Structure 1
Amino acid sequence: METFQNLRVYQLSENLANGIWFIVDKWDSFAKDTIGKQIVKSADSIDANIAEGNGRYNLQDNQRFIKIARGSLNETRHWLRLAFKRKLLTQEQIDKIKPIIDELSPKLNAYLNSLKRKSNNI
């Protein structure tokens, strides 16, 4: 079984989470305490669920964690939209984050589909 750190989908999600962390770290305390904590938690949840699912040696469990990761990605998108509309994120910051999300979203789906194919072949 491939370790989660070598998965491109994990690497992308980790990059996203770290990028968001370093942006939020510079916000004032009110912004950090409201949107900041939420966006960091949702972004961290993506790669954490990929890692946890990979540690489950049951393909159905792994699939469930990838679905949770996909939900966390959508939640992260939500918080990013609010942060941008509330002028906590600059266009330049969005331009750095968006390509990661644009690559991560289909990769999560592809990873989930590959797990489904594996479980169908058992």
Structure 2
Amino acid sequence: MAENFENLQCWQVCNELKIYIKEKILPSLPKTERFELYSQLLRASRSATANIAEGWGRYHYKENIKFLFNARGSIAEILDHSLEAKAWDYISDEKLQYVRLQTESCIKLINGYIKYLRRQAEEKQ
């Protein structure tokens, strides 16, 4: 188990995605989307890392896994909102492709961490 949630690779990659969303995607959105798509993307990106951190802080495998499922859902939400941003021509194909690759990476890492926690829980029983 990591000493701190910041040491978890899944948190690190999700945090990189959050920073990318804030620096590259959100400024591309029009002001008319400020309280709609902008807000949704910002909250989903924050939710992913926050859920990983909160799950890590619970110290119980089942609770931790529950929060990881929430984080995985937030990552999927980021991709969905990014697809919408592309559909409205708010972002480029390149930005969407980067988000797509990062969300895939985040989900793979979260799934791997879930498998690890399940194995740990089984070993303790």
Question: TM-score, normalised to structure 1's length?
Answer: 0.92
Match of 2:81? 79
Question: Which consecutive unaligned segments of at least 5 residues does structure 2 have?
Answer: none
Q: Please show how residues 34-49 of structure 1 align to structure 2 within 5 Å.
A: 34-49=36-51
Q: Is the 8 A contact 1:25 1:32 kept in 2?
A: no
Match of 1:59? 61
> Using the alignment, how far apart are the partners of 1:25 and 1:100 within structure 2?
19
> Using the alignment, how far apart are the partners of 1:49 and 1:15 within structure 2?
15
Runs of 4+ in structure 1 over 2 Å off: 25-28, 95-99
> Using the alignment, how far apart are the partners of 2:97 and 2:61 within structure 1?
35
Report the Cα offset of residue 38 of structure 1: 0.3
Q: Identity of counterpart residues, as a percentage?
A: 26
Does residue 7 of structure 1 match 2:8?
Answer: yes
Match of 1:117? 119
Question: Which consecutive unaligned segments of at least 5 residues does structure 1 have?
Answer: none
> Using the alignment, how far apart are the partners of 2:40 and 2:104 within structure 1?
21
> Using the alignment, how far apart are the partners of 2:91 and 2:101 within structure 1?
15
> Using the alignment, how far apart are the partners of 1:96 and 1:78 within structure 2?
13
> Using the alignment, how far apart are the partners of 1:28 and 1:77 within structure 2?
18
Supply the AA of the counterpart residue of 1:79: H
Please state whether the residue corresponding to 2:69 is helix, strand or coil: helix
Question: TM-score, normalised to structure 2's length?
Answer: 0.90
